[in-house]
Amino acid sequence: MTGKIHSIETAGMVDGPGIRYVVFFAGCPLRCLYCHNPDTWDMGAGKSMSVDELMADIAKYRSYMQASGGGVTFTGGDPLAQPEFLLELLRACRERGIHTAVDTAGFVRDPQKSKVSEILAYADLLLLDIKSASADKFVEIAGVPQDSTLNLLKLSHQMQVPVWIRHVIVPGLTDGREELTALGELLQGYSNIERVDLLPFSKLGEYKWQAVSKEYTLTDVQPPTVEEMARARGIVNAKKH
């Protein structure tokens, strides 16, 4: 089986525990206002690779992944845009005893929903990016409905798949007290959530929007300060526990 791969990072440090071999899938149905990888949106821009090709390359880095408690992270784009390919890679890693993480925003198109439970069954960790606790704000940010993301979170809880939540703090967009309080309340009751990472909005990927001829609407927004991030964590954590 082959899939479309945008790029590979062989020593990732922020995409799950330990040192990670990070596979960036091509293709994403979301159009997030603050996306720092808009060059991964187009499935056609990816390089075709087979499961065997990827696993052969992953094997070269297995020793340092195991020594650090790391593994392989599938991200993108969004790996759920290629569910069959993702599933085969997860199976291959499981057979070889390699820890896996799936980094996704959780949006799944209807014809692909049957694969989700299988994917979760083979994933060791789910890195779930929740754009907003508000259904309306979620659509404003990502351009797709919130339901699929929340359904994936609920399914991961039913299957007791470990989850790390990710949420980007964008001043003026996702940093309001009401917004953050709702996020903390949303995450209550999910015993499989191991950690909640609030990530500061970054302008590092802004130049890529010009490269793909897309309008970037957050040019005037500045990254949150250390104090603003601490405030956001305090609000979310107060409601989460």
DSSP string, 92-136: HHHHTT--EEEEE-----GGGGGGHHHHHHH-SEEEEE---SSHH
pLDDT at 210 over 90: no
- Structure-token pair, residue 212: 């793909």
pLDDT at 88 over 80: yes
How many folded domains does the chain comprise?
1
Domain encompassing residue 58: 2-240
Q: What percent of the chain has pLDDT over 70?
A: 97
pLDDT at 111 over 90: no
Q: Residues 90-110: what's their mean pLDDT?
A: 94
pLDDT at 240 over 60: no
pLDDT at 116: 93
pLDDT at 241 over 60: no
Q: How many CB atoms lie within 10 A of CB 66?
A: 15
CATH number of the domain at 162, please.
Answer: 3.20.20.70
Q: Is-contact 37 24, C-beta < 8 A? A: yes
Determine the residue type at 51.
V
Entry pTM? 0.94
Residue owning tokens 């001829």: 213
Nearest to 3 by CA among 110, 61, 78, 96: 78
**Separation of alpha carbons 201 and 199, rounded Å:** 6
Q: Is-contact 203 33, C-beta < 8 A? A: no
The predicted-structure confidence for 19-61, as pLDDT tens digits, reads as follows 999 999 999 999 999 999 999 999 888 999 999 999 999 999 9
Q: Residues 209-230: what's their mean pLDDT?
A: 93
**Separation of alpha carbons 204 and 222, rounded Å:** 11
pLDDT at 239: 61
pLDDT at 115 over 70: yes
pLDDT at 45: 82
Q: Residues 197-220: what's their mean pLDDT?
A: 91
Cβ-based neighbours of 66, under 8 Å, separated by 6 or more: none
